[in-house]
Structure 1
Amino acid sequence: MLHIGEFAGMTGLSVKALRHYDEKGVLVPAEVDPDSWYRRYGEEQVRSGVIVKALRDAGVPLDAVGVTVAGADPSTTIDVHHRLVLEQREQEDLAFAQARSVVASLAAPVEIVERTLPPQPYVGRVLTVPRGDEDAVTDDDANEQFSQLYVAVQEAGVGPSGTFWTTLRPGEQGAVEIVCCWPTSSQLEPTWGGDGTTVDVLPERTELAAVWRAEPGVELPEGSTHPAVVALFDAIAERGITMPTTELRQRVLGQTADEYAVEVSITLP
């Protein structure tokens, strides 16, 4: 029999670790003195102790180590954990690449414009994104609304009179509303378009707009806030403006995948 100190020296495991493994049922001593609680280990446990240290040094979770000590093949345990580590490293590498891409995208130049615009009548369809369910509304959903509304506006003989835009505004109970808008040449009746259709007018206003232009071969990272939005809020902060609302309007200008611009604007108070 080996006293706990001898067993620790033989296996490379610390006394503290051995006590912990005993408490967790991973590597239980052959004998425990009922009076002193002094632990003793059998000679046949040296192999298990060395394997436990090797597995723990490799980061194998304690539960898997316990299963191995109980009789599972240690090589299989190592292989399984190694595969998990490689998968995790791959995810970490992707996360690092995404982070670098986001930081690089925010360094791109964005033009800030302050302008005064006349009233603009428009119609829109509202899509609601519930709080915590950002994938509830897809690009296809928005494109379908734009297409349907475009046809309806043409049939009504009021345009569209310009480029479509998307309005992002706070909804109820933490939701976000996406309003798919087309400008019209004149204001329609409030009931035009039926339920789910907004008929309104953007009043004469002063806007602050951020214009981001695409660079050939440069793709924006998916899932990240657009650089134009970030630049717009930078400009708001630099001007010391307190905004009563965070209703944003976004337009895409241009026709090709390599030559286009994204414009994000907000009405100044």
Structure 2
Amino acid sequence: MLSIGAFARLVGVSVRMLRHYDRLGLLVPARVDEFSGYRYYSPDQLDRANQLVALKDLGFSLDDVGRLLAEPQSSDLVAQMLRERRTALLEQMRTDEQRVRQVEARLRLIEKEVPMSEHTYVETDLPELRLVQLSARVTEMSQIESEIGPMFQRVNEAVERAGATRVGPGVAHYTGDGDELVAAAAEQVGEAPTPDGLEPARLAAAPRALTVRYTAPDLVGLPQAWQGLVREVERRDLTPAGTAREIYLATPYDGAGSGWDVDLQQPVE
């Protein structure tokens, strides 16, 4: 048998909390000394104690904890809920890490720690592109990242199902429409029929454009690269005139590398 203090240490709660659980009938001691009133617990009670603490940490009220622990398969139920909570926390961690990188990139942009002159800008023409795609209207720039990734996944799944052959790298393109921006995720499949669920699209050739390559392990610095490109357009006394393109020459999903190589292309006049 374990004293209440020893049991509290093993479970990771206070003695006061164990007494509270006892009063509520959630975790009753295996034995109470009739003379001293000291509470003693069995090692067999550790499983119930662990489930109780886990449910409480998941945000359940003690009333709900009691009902859940009364379920015949309470151990399996708690384990499943903990797995789901673990998945949610890991996703939140990834989201928070991404936000930290975005804040750092924005800070570098504001403080101009990475001079834009380090980029090499190339003036060139752009070919016509025949695409199959999915598109979405966005009003907030923060929506672009959350929209483009899933759309690319769905486009590629549709291309694979149709057995279509890609004739070039993936393309994201952006067109202003009033107060909104139309963002599209596309693949180049030439003259092949449009796979089910996708829309055909054509980007007209541009006789003049300014481009810059973005190469990095992630896409956090992409807005900074675009800002640099637009500043360079203005510096050269040019005007953006057409659909902005991102050509994904390499991505972490290709299997050949671990980073991104994206050609940013802005038609100008």
- TM-score, normalization by structure 2: 0.49
- TM-score, normalization by structure 1: 0.49
